[in-house]
């Protein structure tokens, strides 16, 4: 089938590649000429494992191409996915201006029956608004169209795996014809399909992300209690993971959640609930706990080192999680900013992120190696759980540090082994 993807950001590009992989003929549309040129040349404008080779493969097989020509793209395709950004407004709500612009353009150029699908994370009621925006652009038109919600659940760093093997596919809409058409796109995927109305589909996405964020804040709170009681949070997490009602995932205590989704989506759900006079107080606490988490680490550093002024601290990891170069809402940055405000000298290491692209300070040095970042430091903080940090020769690292104190902000290293190696090792709740 022919599918148009509007918006070639992270979700749009991944969606385009996955549909091409499923054998569909896909067009990616964006107004950003430089992005389109890059993509047509087989290059991604973001870092995501596995997508680069898939892009080259489908460009070569002519299953995929990218364009800036809105009119032609819309006229030639009858299934149109909206994958543009919905950034957070100052009140926490999702900004729908890009979605509205796209809906207007679709309204302008629609020439026959179209199914318009929202993939972007959008508040409850957006599908209805999109319907209105499309219709408003040409009120005289008798050409029918349907709007369907088909939210995306992929994780950065695992986008391909998540998109090709989803736990479920959610399709929300009121037209059986449109739902059947969207369902048929996924016929080669072995995943349960949940069909509902568009409002429920939109709420499913926010509820899922907020629930996962809640699990993280919950385990982080328990971890702080573990610190007081001298109990290992890992033992506790292990003990509850095996309860199938709780489940094994998203119970790793650490510096808190970041990224482009959880903080934004929890804020948007809170905003919707306030607007509808429903008190989602549990989610307010989820946010408070998460925002405080990097400062818990600072407090631990201060307890260990005394005044932080003039100290040198190495920070390992800048991305909000491993497998991505995304630093949006990364707890590592909250930590670094606070250290800088306390006149700490900071050395950083990250396998893909360059701090100078995001933060300009003479107090920060970026190092290519972990040993480099550890040299002459009073403490090291591990802030992103990059797999390669598991393979480090820590004895080598210890030799170059001023004092062998390491704070594992992701609880990823083997505490006993680090202690045996002579480190003063601390984690969150261990
Ligand atoms: C999330 C959702 O998982 C995905 O379904 C949705 O489509 C987009 O938002 P993503 O933001 O890519 O995906 O990252 P995710 O792997 O969910 O991690 C989010 C944050 O939570 C990261 O900062 C991560 O380090 C943190 N996290 C995750 C924890 O602190 N502990 C955990 O146990 C799991």
pLDDT band for 430, please (50, 70, 90 cuts).
confident
Nearest CA to ligand 1 atom 20: 257
CB of 265 within 6 A of ligand 1: the answer is no
Instruction: Point out which residues pair with 149 in neighbouring strands.
Output: 118, 172
CA distance 428 to 245: 25
Name the DSSP class of 71: H
Residues 44-68 as b or e (16 or more Cβ within 10 Å = b):
beebbebbeebbeebbeeebbbbbe
Residue 207 has pLDDT above 90, yes or no: yes
| Mean pLDDT to the nearest integer, 342-368 | 95
CA distance 291 to 285: 10
Question: pLDDT, tens digit, for every residue of 99-112?
Answer: 999 999 999 999 99
Three-class SS of 311-349: CEEEEECCCCCCCCCCCCCCHHHHHHHHHHHCCCEEEEE
pLDDT band for 295, please (50, 70, 90 cuts).
very high
| Mean pLDDT to the nearest integer, 59-72 | 98
Considering only 110-119, 131-140, 177-186, 312-321, which range has the smallest mean pLDDT?
Answer: 131-140
CB of 429 within 6 A of ligand 1: the answer is no
Q: Strands 193-196, 312-316: parallel, antiparallel or unpaired by DSSP? A: unpaired
- At residue 120, the pLDDT reads 87
**Cα–ligand 1 centroid distance for 158 (angstroms):** 10
Cβ neighbours of 392 (radius 10 Å): 17
Nearest CA to ligand 1 atom 3: 155
- Single out the residue of 311, 309, 297, 323 nearest to residue 427, CA to CA: 297
Active-site residue (options: 83, 261, 367, 430):
261
CB of 48 within 6 A of ligand 1: the answer is no
Q: Is 24 exposed, middle or buried (0-12, 13-18, 19+ CB in 10 A)?
A: middle
Residue 141 has pLDDT above 90, yes or no: no
pLDDT band for 213, please (50, 70, 90 cuts).
very high
Sheet holding 312-316, edge to edge: 364-366, 345-349, 312-316, 379-382, 405-408, 424-427
- Single out the residue of 264, 389, 383 nearest to residue 333, CA to CA: 383
CA distance 172 to 182: 10
Residue 273 CA to chain centroid, in angstroms?
Answer: 22
**Cα–ligand 1 centroid distance for 259 (angstroms):** 7
CB of 26 within 6 A of ligand 1: the answer is no
Residue 364 has pLDDT above 90, yes or no: yes
**Cα–ligand 1 centroid distance for 174 (angstroms):** 31
Under a CB-based contact definition with an 8 Å cutoff, are residues 383 and 409 in contact?
Answer: yes
Residue 286 CA to chain centroid, in angstroms?
Answer: 17
Minimum-distance ligand 1 atom for the alpha carbon of 259 = 11
CA distance 83 to 102: 10
Minimum-distance ligand 1 atom for the alpha carbon of 410 = 30
Tokens 């959008």 belong to residue: 122
Q: Catalytic site residue 83?
A: no
CA distance 122 to 109: 23
Nearest CA to ligand 1 atom 14: 155
Q: Cα separations (Å) of 73 from 16, 119, 136, 351?
A: 14, 18, 20, 38
- At residue 111, the pLDDT reads 95
Interacting residues of 267 by C-beta distance below 8 A, sequence separation 6+: 88, 92, 93, 287
Nearest CA to ligand 1 atom 2: 155
pLDDT band for 346, please (50, 70, 90 cuts).
very high
Query: How many percent of the chain have pLDDT more than 70?
Result: 100
| Mean pLDDT to the nearest integer, 370-390 | 98
Ligand 1 pocket test, candidate residues 48, 162, 170, 259, most atoms within 8 A of CB: 259
- The number of CA neighbours under 13 Å toward the Cβ of 197 is 7
Tokens 């550093």 belong to residue: 301
Kind and range of the H or E element at 382? strand 379-382
Query: How many percent of the chain have pLDDT more than 90?
Result: 93
Residue 45 CA to chain centroid, in angstroms?
Answer: 16
- Compute the mean pLDDT over every residue in the chain, rounded to the nearest whole number: 96
Strand stretches in 60-196, DSSP E: 64-67, 79-82, 114-118, 145-149, 169-172, 193-196
CA distance 190 to 196: 19
Under a CB-based contact definition with an 8 Å cutoff, are residues 9 and 45 in contact?
Answer: no
Minimum-distance ligand 1 atom for the alpha carbon of 254 = 30
Question: pLDDT, tens digit, for every residue of 37-52?
Answer: 999 999 999 989 999 9
DSSP string, 267-304: HHHHHHHHHTT---HHHHHHHHHHHHHHHHHHHHHHHH
């Amino acid at each position: 089938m022919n599918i148009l993807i509007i918006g070639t950001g992270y979700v749009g590009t991944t969606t385009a590649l996955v549909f091409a992989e499923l054998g569909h003929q896909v067009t990616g549309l964006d107004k950003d000429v430089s992005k389109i040129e890059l993509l047509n040349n087989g290059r991604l404008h973001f870092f995501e494992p596995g997508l680069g080779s898939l892009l080259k493969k489908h460009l070569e097989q002519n299953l995929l191409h990218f364009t800036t020509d809105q009119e032609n793209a819309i006229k030639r395709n009858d299934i149109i996915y909206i994958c543009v950004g919905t950034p957070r407004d100052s009140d926490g709500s999702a900004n729908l201006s890009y979605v509205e612009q796209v809906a207007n353009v679709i309204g302008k150029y629609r020439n026959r029956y179209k199914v318009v699908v929202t993939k972007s994370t959008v508040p409850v009621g957006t599908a209805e608004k999109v319907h209105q925006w499309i219709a408003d652009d040409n009120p005289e038109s008798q050409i029918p169209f349907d709007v369907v919600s088909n939210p995306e659940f992929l994780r950065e760093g695992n986008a391909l795996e998540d998109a090709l093997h989803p736990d479920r596919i959610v399709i929300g809409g009121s037209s059986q014809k449109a739902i059947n058409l969207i369902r048929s796109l996924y016929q080669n995927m072995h995943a349960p399909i949940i069909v509902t109305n568009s409002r429920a589909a939109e709420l499913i996405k926010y509820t899922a992300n907020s629930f996962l964020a809640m699990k993280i804040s919950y385990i982080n709170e328990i971890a702080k209690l573990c610190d007081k009681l001298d109990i290992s949070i890992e033992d506790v997490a292990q003990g509850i993971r095996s309860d199938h009602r709780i489940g094994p995932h998203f119970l790793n205590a650490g510096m808190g959640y970041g990224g482009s989704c959880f903080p934004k989506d929890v804020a948007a759900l809170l905003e919707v609930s306030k607007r509808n006079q429903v008190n989602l107080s549990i989610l307010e606490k989820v946010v408070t706990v998460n925002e405080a988490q990097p400062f818990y680490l600072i407090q631990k550093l201060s307890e260990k080192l005394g005044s932080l002024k003039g100290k040198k601290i190495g920070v390992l990891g800048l991305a909000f999680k491993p497998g991505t170069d995304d630093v949006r809402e990364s707890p590592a940055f909250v930590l670094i900013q606070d250290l800088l405000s306390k006149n700490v000298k900071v050395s950083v290491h990250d396998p893909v992120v360059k701090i100078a692209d995001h933060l300009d300070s003479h107090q920060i040095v970026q190092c290519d190696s972990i040993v480099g970042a550890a040299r002459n430091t009073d403490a090291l903080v591990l802030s992103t759980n990059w797999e390669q940090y598991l393979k480090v020769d820590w004895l080598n690292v210890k030799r170059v540090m001023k004092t062998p104190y390491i704070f594992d902000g992701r609880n990823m290293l083997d505490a006993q082994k680090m202690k045996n190696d002579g480190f003063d090792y601390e984690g969150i709740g261990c």
